[in-house]
Homo-oligomer: A and B are copies of this chain.
Amino acid sequence: MNKVKVGILGATGMVGQRFVQLLGNHPWFQVTEVAASERSAGKSYGESMFGRWKLPTAIPESIGNLVVKECVPGLDCQVVFSALDAEIAGPIEQAFAQAGYVVSSNSRNHRMEPDVPLLIPEVNADHMGMIAFQKRNRGWKGMIVTNPNCSTIHLVIALKPLMQFGLNKVFVTTMQALSGAGYPGVASLDILDNVIPYIGGEEEKMERETLKLLGRLGEGKFVPASITVSAHCTRVNVNDGHTECVSVKLEKKPGIDEIKAAFKAFNPLKGLDLPSAPDHPIVLREENNRPQPKMDRDVEKSMASVVGRIRECPLLGYKFVVLGHNTVRGAAGAAILNAELMKVKGYLN
């Protein structure tokens, strides 16, 4: 099989580096282009990352040798993964879609637009049906698909199997990792021996994206789920892995064992053999002090959401903890999985 040629926009940032790491040896995709906002003309990716590469694994050699390009159409690839800063992502991603590229974006800019799928393959694969409308509306030869915010995605994966029980209220408090803020991101003086109980825009994203993700695709529009979500978001001194304390109201009042069974049974991608899909999108832990970022963020190639401490909540009925890797499943890995789904569904030809 010929591999699909892909490019990475914003390849030098933290999420860009994750794309490089995860795509270095991908069975379906071949990275043929890396692009970044600043000019690095004439420099290879390896050279330009000297002293700036922040992952403990080495830069894949084939990518290290690529010359860094600017983020403008003309790249030799079919798909572009976007790890661009929100300040610049909007018009750049649109220019690529206009020019015929398939854009799989981790940026927030287009997530809530009415004709752009906000996609988690295990949750709302059918939302891809919006693409036909998108291309028509926009007059684009290409398309834009987005993945959710890094804290939203793990919440929503955990909520999806609970929809069958009449989910209608969600309370979530997050303890989010440093890598979610990019690099240099949070100053060490601000977080050592500290908690920062605020992340700009994050609570709003969790409260809105969740409704679109768990909603349904109507006739040319997304119908948001009838759920109320309240989010408190905090930053803690952890490298990778967002921890989320969740309470939910389920109208059908299932037993704790039914909920556990629903989490275990959840595997909508089974049989599709997507290379980045976890064997189990939800991993259940029975120890009373799990999941924990250091112990659980890297299970299933860092692509699972790990759930534990399922118990009763005096207010809403049920409490649990969900945890997942924020720059893999919560960013680069999510966008790659979206592209893999698009491939098997025929959106890449």
Q: Name the B residues within 8 Å of A84 (CB-CB).
A: none
Query: CB within 8 Å of B: which of A92-144?
Result: none
Interface flag for A48 (CB, 8 Å)? no
Interface code A147-175, partner B: CB below 8 Å = 1, 0 otherwise?
A: 00000000000000000000001110101
Q: Name the B residues within 8 Å of A205 (CB-CB).
A: none
Contact of A207 with B314 in the complex, beta carbons under 8 Å: yes
Interface flag for A56 (CB, 8 Å)? yes
Shortest CB distance A66–B (Å): 21
Contact of A234 with B175 in the complex, beta carbons under 8 Å: yes
Q: For the complex formed by this chain, how many copies does it contain in all?
A: 4
Interface flag for A178 (CB, 8 Å)? yes
Q: Report if A192-B193 is in contact (Cβ < 8 Å); known contacts: A56-B295, A289-B51.
A: yes
Interface-lining segment among A20-28, A182-190, A256-264: A182-190
Contact of A287 with B184 in the complex, beta carbons under 8 Å: no
Interface-lining segment among A195-203, A215-223, A271-279, A334-342: A195-203
Q: Name the B residues within 8 Å of A232 (CB-CB).
A: 173, 245, 247, 319, 321
Q: Name the B residues within 8 Å of A193 (CB-CB).
A: 192-193, 237-239, 293-294
Q: Name the B residues within 8 Å of A234 (CB-CB).
A: 175, 243, 245
Interface flag for A236 (CB, 8 Å)? yes
Query: CB within 8 Å of B: which of A227-253?
Result: 228-230, 232, 234, 236-239, 243, 245, 247
Q: Name the B residues within 8 Å of A238 (CB-CB).
A: 192-195, 237
Q: Give the contacting residue for A198; candidates B191, B192, B289, B293; CB below 8 A.
A: B289
Q: Given contacts A186-B188, A193-B293, list 15 more A-B pairs with CB under 8 A.
A: A175-B234, A184-B187, A185-B188, A189-B239, A192-B192, A193-B239, A194-B294, A194-B295, A195-B243, A197-B290, A228-B314, A229-B314, A230-B314, A232-B319, A237-B237
User: Chain A interface (Cβ within 8 Å of chain B)?
Assistant: 14, 50-51, 54, 56, 58, 169-171, 173, 175, 178-179, 183-198, 200, 207, 228-230, 232, 234, 236-239, 243, 245, 247, 287-299, 308-309, 313-316, 319, 321, 323
Which 10 A-B pairs have CB atoms at the shortest separation, nearest pair first?
Answer: A173-B173, A184-B187, A232-B245, A230-B315, A198-B289, A194-B294, A188-B188, A197-B321, A186-B188, A195-B243
